[in-house]
Structure 1
C-alpha cells in the first residue's frame, strides 16, 4: 500500500510543510494525512497515486479550514475535526437517508464501545470514553494527566484489540464530523488506521 511507502510519506510531509510553519502542528497533520490515506486506500482501492495524494491535500485543507486558524493558540484542537472533501466523498445510495445513517452510526458506536470496554483496563476505558466524546490526543492527555505519547500508545492498544475483535470501517463509509457522541467509532478507526500505517509516535 502507498501508506507504507517511504516516498509517499515524504510527499505528504512536503504538503504539510507548505500548510503550516508550526513544527508540532506539522507532526499532527502528517499523522492525520497518513490516517486519511490509509482509509482512502481501503475505501477506494485501485486509484492512481496522484488521486490519493490530491485527496490528502484537500482533506488537510478542509481539516484546517473547519478548525481554528493555524496560528491560533488552541490550534491542536484540530485533532477532533474530520471534515471530508466533497470531491472525494463516496455518494450514498438513493434509498439510504441521512437519518438512517446517523442512527446506524450511533447504534454501532454504542455496541462497539461496549464490546471493547469489556477487555480494557480502567485507564483504557477512560481514554475510549474520551475518544467517544470526540476529544483529540492532546486534549485526552491533558484531561487524564497523561503524556501525549502514552495516550497514543493506549489508543494503538485499543486499536489492536479492535482489529482482533473484527472491528473494521464499513465499506464505502467516510469519516463524519463529530455529532452527538457518535465520534467514538470514527476515532477508534483512526486508531486502527494509525496502527496499520505504523505511524511514528509524536
Structure 2
C-alpha cells in the first residue's frame, strides 16, 4: 500500500523506481485505474509485487473528513475481504521535501498525526502487524542534488540508501527510535561528505561544483525536521 499527502510525489516515485512491469505490452507502463471500492486508487503490477497507490485525501482527510474517512475504512474492509490471511504486506509512506521545507511546525505535526492515525486504523481493522517504509520524496528540490548525483553510475543509483529500526512487539522505545534515527541519519550525511571530493572532480563547471559542495549541508538540514 502506498500512502502520502496529496502532491507528495507517490506516483512519480513509483514510475521512476526502476521497477519491472511484466504487463507493459498489454497495459502499458502506467498504473491501472481502480474501479468500485478502489476507484480512488491506482494499481501498479510489477514482477514482484502489486502496489496500490491510494488517493492522497485518504491520508490526511482534510477537506471532507466524513466522506474521506468512510471511503478509507471501506477500502480497508475490501482488503480484508479479499486477502483474509494477510490484507497487506506493508506500507510505503511518502514524505515530501517540499512539505518539510515549506510547512509550519504545526502543519508538519498535523500531517504526521494524520499519517499515524491511518497506520493505527490499518492495524486495528486488519489485525496484523506490517512494516512501514518511509520514503522521502522530491529530494531533487534540495540545492545541489542534480550536481551531486548526476555522474553516479547505475549500480550506485540502484543501491538501497536508508536504514531500518529495530522493533519488538510491545516495546515501542520511542526515545530509542529518536536516538537511532539521529545516529543513522548522521551516518548518511557522513557518506555524502566522504564521497563529495569524488563527485566534485566529475564537475568541470564551477557553478555546478559549488552546488555539489552544498548538497550534503542541504541534506543535513532535513534531520531535525524528520526527527520532530
Q: Same fold (TM over 0.5)?
A: no
Q: If the length of structure 2 is used for normalisation, what is the TM-score?
A: 0.26
More helix by share: 1
Which has the larger share of strand? 2
Query: Relative contact order: is structure 1 or structure 2 higher (C-alpha 8 Å, sep ≥ 6)?
Result: 1
